Chains A and B, each alone.
Chain A
């Protein structure tokens, strides 16, 4: 790694939704030595350091305006893989894609995956991601048996649920603000087929939507809902649910075939003729309130009847990879995602209020996704015993102020309903909101660990300054 701080390295970096563009000195370390060099450079120049994986956060988690950003994607070696027990040790830049492609032929699938396979393990751990099986498998952190991380002092720490347990539970979900992962050991999940049994059916309103997710979750390995946020009145919260289940041993006679990487491909054409690279352009004319209403209504009506089918793991999980660069369909201002986590008792009322409000304001979400969750014991946790609703909003010059005002009203509704937020998604959560849902005690524990691991505040991101900046 060229270790000079020059303006040639000062490059604009974006969030996943292309709605934020902030410059930083970009370095691409290849090993721990390079990370140490970057720490030294930061100290010499009075700058801060942020770790970045694939840049798939919807907010400022991997952004550090005017500081140093370490793009860890070149640290992407698989250090050890044991197909007998399913333990894999990887560098932080290894992607979910690399991970499953390595392990699936041996009959193992990652225990938790994101909606895109381009994310890196370092990023997944920093955010402590959840998948469509959160209610059953928890977050990715619950399947990490051990990791090593570099602290700004140059010390390397090894953490597991037993060893350095407090750091283990704080660095996972700690957004790289305590240290930078250098190796991660993950317990993979045994699978006996490259296919999943999928069931899809429509739900006519929010009440049914949530009731059926709750009923379906204990019965299935995966449950996820699509919510049409443009539907109003009696149809408010209508959508389509999907459940998926692993096949039992021997259930797939062609398991040897379906477990192969080549079998797990996503379609390259839509409707048999449209190349998928063209889709963002074709989607663009529909990315307005009326267009999305039309598309969603058609999608809902077509998907209302129950269907069961078998689908490959990759095809079921990585919806966001179906259309490469789908984000550009949102236009110049990009998009943001607002995800709220609510206890199952209050979710219906709060989301009814939020969805109604967004329609009244004329800023409906263009995509809504619902999931079922369970609590976990990580320090900065977004999890609740309840549901999450992720809403994508198009950002334009003319709606920015109105959208910001509406989201702060959303924050209030969620806080009142005992809800929580997720630091990989929401970009506008204020320090005050974070204090209210995490609690002063949790924040103080995080601050104490920060002081222990990074007393000089070398590790900072825009996200960190947004949430902790005013309280140092």
Chain B
């Protein structure tokens, strides 16, 4: 019933089983690193992003390395939430199922210390949170029905406190973290694993123009941590590991001090 046929993976067989994953936001950064790593581990992937040429190049790179079709690119803008139901259905049919869903799309649009910009805040909320809802709702319903599956949301340490620099970014990530926690509470009893990932600063396009960053990790390191956490069915992952301790302290800084900080 498909009109245009992209190169699709062969169906799974008992001796060639397939684990299938969707990565939303796969064209660069953590998403691309996750795609390379999961493909190397044998996963079959649907890669989604707006920048289709980069996505196609990545899929080609993965498929050439694997010697078979292991990644299929799909052009998708997460702010186009209306497109999600049909696209998800198509991916399920193309991959032949789903075992892992990763929502990685995220943007940070700095507004400046004293400025307020609703347009930017709205855009961040749409990409970081509303887009996630549009995907996670049907995926949660799907996994609930299957009684299995992994959901991974790439949130951020930024969601742990509201800070002076980018309130809407913090809020969008806090909302995502909270939503993922609620999903976990709903779905653990149905056999579904939900992982909240809270990376610190990562060397990606998002952080390229930001100044004053410290302890910057590589996307590959973060992707490796995430893959391990999926295997171990971890609930929350701070990556690299030391952010867990940093954020433990940050979360406990009393407000009368925190509101005087410029951090």
Residues in chain A within 8 A of chain B (CB atoms): 5-12, 15, 17, 19-20, 22-23, 42-43, 45-48, 59-60, 63, 65-67, 334, 336, 395, 400-401, 403-404, 407, 427-428, 456-458, 462, 465-466, 469
A46 touches B97 (CB 8 A): no
Supposing A7-B141, A43-B1 touch, asked if A67 and B93 sit within 8 A by C-beta, the answer is: yes
Any A CB within 8 A of the CB of B84: no
Q: Which of B45-92 contact A (CB under 8 A)?
A: 86, 89-92
Residues of B contacting A17 with CB < 8 Å?
14
Supposing A23-B97, A403-B15 touch, asked if A7 and B138 sit within 8 A by C-beta, the answer is: yes
Interface string of B128-166 (1 = CB under 8 A from A): 000000000010011011111000000000000000000
A to B CB contacts below 8 Å, 30 in the list:
A7-B142, A7-B144, A9-B145, A10-B92, A11-B146, A12-B147, A19-B14, A20-B17, A22-B11, A22-B96, A42-B1, A43-B1, A46-B93, A47-B89, A48-B1, A60-B13, A66-B91, A67-B93, A403-B15, A404-B15, A407-B15, A427-B13, A427-B14, A428-B15, A456-B1, A458-B1, A462-B11, A465-B10, A466-B13, A469-B11
> CB < 8 Å: which of B89, B91, B95 contacts A45?
B89
Closest 6 CB pairs of A and B: A65-B96, A19-B14, A462-B11, A66-B92, A66-B93, A404-B15
Task: Specify the chain A residue showing the minimal Cβ separation from B141.
Answer: A7
Measured CB to CB, the closest approach of chain B to A332, in angstroms, equals 12
> CB < 8 Å: which of A5, A11, A334, A462 contacts B145?
A11
Residues of A contacting B98 with CB < 8 Å?
23, 66
A65 touches B15 (CB 8 A): no
Any A CB within 8 A of the CB of B16: yes
Task: Specify the chain A residue showing the minimal Cβ separation from B94.
Answer: A66
Any A CB within 8 A of the CB of B215: no
Task: Specify the chain B residue showing the minimal Cβ separation from A20.
Answer: B14
Any A CB within 8 A of the CB of B2: yes
A46 touches B11 (CB 8 A): no
Scoring B14, B98, B145, B147 by chain A CB atoms within 10 A of each residue's CB, the highest score goes to B14
Scoring A46, A334, A456, A457 by chain B CB atoms within 10 A of each residue's CB, the highest score goes to A46
CA distance A63 to B1 in the complex (A): 17
B96 touches A466 (CB 8 A): no
Measured CB to CB, the closest approach of chain A to B239, in angstroms, equals 28
**Given A60-B12, A462-B11, 7 other A-B residues pairs in contact with their CB atoms under 8 A:** A7-B145, A46-B89, A66-B93, A66-B95, A428-B14, A466-B11, A469-B10
Measured CB to CB, the closest approach of chain B to A470, in angstroms, equals 8
CA distance A334 to B17 in the complex (A): 12
| Number of B residues, CB within 8 Å of A | 29
Task: Specify the chain B residue showing the minimal Cβ separation from A465.
Answer: B11
Measured CB to CB, the closest approach of chain A to B8, in angstroms, equals 8
B15 touches A400 (CB 8 A): yes
Supposing A7-B142, A66-B92 touch, asked if A20 and B10 sit within 8 A by C-beta, the answer is: no
> CB < 8 Å: which of B14, B16, B96, B142 contacts A10?
B142
Supposing A42-B1, A65-B95, A458-B1 touch, asked if A59 and B13 sit within 8 A by C-beta, the answer is: yes
Residues of B contacting A456 with CB < 8 Å?
1
CA distance A133 to B86 in the complex (A): 50
Residues of A contacting B14 with CB < 8 Å?
15, 17, 19-20, 59, 334, 336, 395, 427-428
A457 touches B1 (CB 8 A): yes
CA distance A48 to B96 in the complex (A): 11
Scoring B91, B92, B98 by chain A CB atoms within 10 A of each residue's CB, the highest score goes to B92
> CB < 8 Å: which of A9, A47, A400 contacts B93?
A47
Residues of A contacting B89 with CB < 8 Å?
5, 45-47
A22 touches B97 (CB 8 A): yes
Supposing A11-B145, A22-B96, A46-B90 touch, asked if A462 and B1 sit within 8 A by C-beta, the answer is: no
